[in-house]
């Protein structure tokens, strides 16, 4: 059975791509290339599901918004 997950991908200051899966608490990974990041993200999703052994619920993806905040 396949399940779809929303994945957020960002690039950090050191040039690494970082992915996080909001539906799975603590589920994130990083890699130098997007291809490697997708491989690692699939692996970490499988691992998080195996470890948590709890029901998970993925929210409906609406979009991404960037906000400027004065600090």
Q: What pLDDT score was predicted for residue 38?
A: 97
Tell me what the mean pLDDT of segment 19-46 comes to: 95
Residue 57 lies in a domain: no
Residue 60 belongs to a domain: no
pLDDT at position 41 over 70: yes
Range of the domain at 24: 8-52
The domain total for the chain is 1
User: What CATH number does the domain containing 32 carry?
Assistant: 3.30.160.250
Q: Is position 38 within any domain?
A: yes
How many percent of the chain have pLDDT more than 70?
97
Paired tokens of 17: 């791509």
CA–CA separation, 7 and 38 (whole Å): 10
Give the per-residue pLDDT at 52.
75
Q: How far is residue 44 CA from its own chain's centroid?
A: 9
Integer Cα distance of 57 and 71 in angstroms: 34
List pLDDT tens digits, range 1-32: 788 899 999 999 999 999 999 989 899 999 99
């Amino acid at each position: 059975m396949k399940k779809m997950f929303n994945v957020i991908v960002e690039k950090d200051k050191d040039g690494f791509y970082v992915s996080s899966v909001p539906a799975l608490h603590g589920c994130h990974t990083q890699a130098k290339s997007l291809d490697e990041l997708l491989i690692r993200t699939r692996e970490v999703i499988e691992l998080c599901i195996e470890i948590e052994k709890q029901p998970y619920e993925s929210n409906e993806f609406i979009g991404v918004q960037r906000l400027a905040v004065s600090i």
